[in-house]
Amino acid sequence: MENATNLELRNFFIEYLEKTMSYAKNHPEYDINKNNYHLHSDNAKLALTILNFTTKLKDLIFDLKKTQVFIQRFPNKKFYEENEIDQLAYIKYHYEVFLHKIHTILEIKKLAVNEFYKIGLDEKDCSWKNLKNQPKLKNKPVSTIIEFYFKSFEHIIKHRNLNTHRAFFGDKKNEELSFDYSIYKNAEKYGYDVGEDFRRIIPKTFLNYLIKDYRKEKIDYIKNGTQIAENYIEQFETIILTEFFIKVKK
């Protein structure tokens, strides 16, 4: 089964979960109004742990994909702009969500490894520095996947850290476009003329084209990053499910 296909592994895991739930419900101590976790075997508890973390990882991928959808359109323009949110601020906000979700995927993987291999670290101490040298993780393929994920997204994770701890966005193109856009926006709002010189240097139609191009650039970047993250999650899940199968069949 170490060479099983992803489909075979997932089918086995789903069937195991169904049996686990059925066993608990048929147990004489089962109480629909209480947590029945104590009724499960150690392997069943491990299966529920896997389900918890793989579900979180899948939800995070859905969140990454949602950022593409949000950025692609700027709905309710009048409402947003009345509340001081223009389309560039809208893109910035959802791109920041992308940065944070990429980082969260790494954090969830570390927590999953800590639980699955019963390493026993407190969540607050569950850093990769503390995890990677644990004897239980020695020569484990899952360690390689986490290392590769971090290296692939190291630039994004650093960006996220600066964004979180220093309120740093660091997108020069967004800043420049926002400055020019604000001049036209404020002129319309307060009823003044931006001047012929400014219109000649930055025509509004050209500015709109630049914003459209910037939006596409961000969507393509997120789409590519999401696909890479999803591939890593699939590999991570396959490794965990393979080890779980071997453990159950011993």
pLDDT digits (tens, 9 = 90+) for 104-137: 999 999 999 999 999 999 999 999 999 988 999 9
135 in a domain, yes or no?
A: yes
187 in a domain, yes or no?
A: no
pLDDT digits (tens, 9 = 90+) for 210-238: 999 999 999 999 999 999 999 999 999 99
118 in a domain, yes or no?
A: yes
pLDDT at 250: 72
User: What is the C-alpha to C-alpha distance for residues 228 and 1, in angstroms, rounded to an integer?
Assistant: 26
pLDDT at 7: 81
The angle, 0 to 180 degrees and rounded to 10, between the axes of the packed helices 172-190 and 87-116 is 140
When divided into structural domains, the chain yields a total of: 1
pLDDT at 33: 60
- Number of Cβ within 10 Å of residue 46's Cβ equals 19
Using alpha carbons, list the distances in angstroms from residue 160 to 49, 152, 167, 169. Answer: 28, 14, 9, 8
Residues in contact with 152: Cβ distance below 8 Å, sequence separation at least 6, in sequence order:
228, 232
Which residues, given as ranges, of the chain have pLDDT below 50?
A: 1-2
208 in a domain, yes or no?
A: no
Cβ–Cβ under 8 Å, residues 70 and 218: no
| Numbers of helices and strands, H then E, in the chain | 10, 0
Print the domain residue range for 245: 6-169+226-249
pLDDT at 32: 63
DSSP 167: -
